[in-house]
Amino acid sequence: MRGYRVQTRLPGRPDITFPALRLVVFVNGCFWHRCPVCQPRLPAANAEFWSAKFRENRRRDEEARANLQAAGWDVVTVWEHEIRPDPSQRALELATMIRSRRLTHSAGTDA
């Protein structure tokens, strides 16, 4: 895959950025980002601390997404459970999506 950057300074510091496609990818850990599918349990100790911390994580995720979208970026989230233990299926989906965006972008049909 070409045309990507890592560690860009965009809101939320996306893991992977495709500048020409105006596309960013976040790879989110299910625990830290409170995956809606896995719904990881809160740690039993210091529940108050953790729940505040996770609330803040989620708020930041939402804020970054809103800022990016407002600036014309498309945002894709890849969850840890989608790529562990085997990332090949999700990687293939992503590659397919990126390829089709390249086609529409280079064809100039993208508004």
Contact call for residue 35 and Zn ion (CB under 5 A): yes
Contact call for residue 38 and Zn ion (CB under 5 A): yes
Q: Measure the CA–CA gap between 83 and 54, rounded to whole angstroms.
A: 22
Sites for Zn ion among residues 42-81 (CB under 5 A): 79, 81
Among 6, 37, 44, 70, binds Zn ion (CB under 5 A): 37
Instruction: Considering the complex, state which of residue 5 and residue 55 has its C-beta at the smaller distance from Zn ion.
Output: 55
Instruction: Considering the complex, state which of residue 38 and residue 52 has its C-beta at the smaller distance from Zn ion.
Output: 38
Cβ contacts of 71 within 8 Å, gap of 6 or more: 11
Query: Strands across the sheet with 5-6, in order?
Result: 5-6, 16-18, 23-28, 74-79
Among 4, 10, 29, 30, binds Zn ion (CB under 5 A): 30
Instruction: Tell me how far the alpha carbon of residue 97 is from its chain's centroid.
Output: 14
Binding residues for Zn ion (CB under 5 A): 30, 35, 37-38, 79, 81
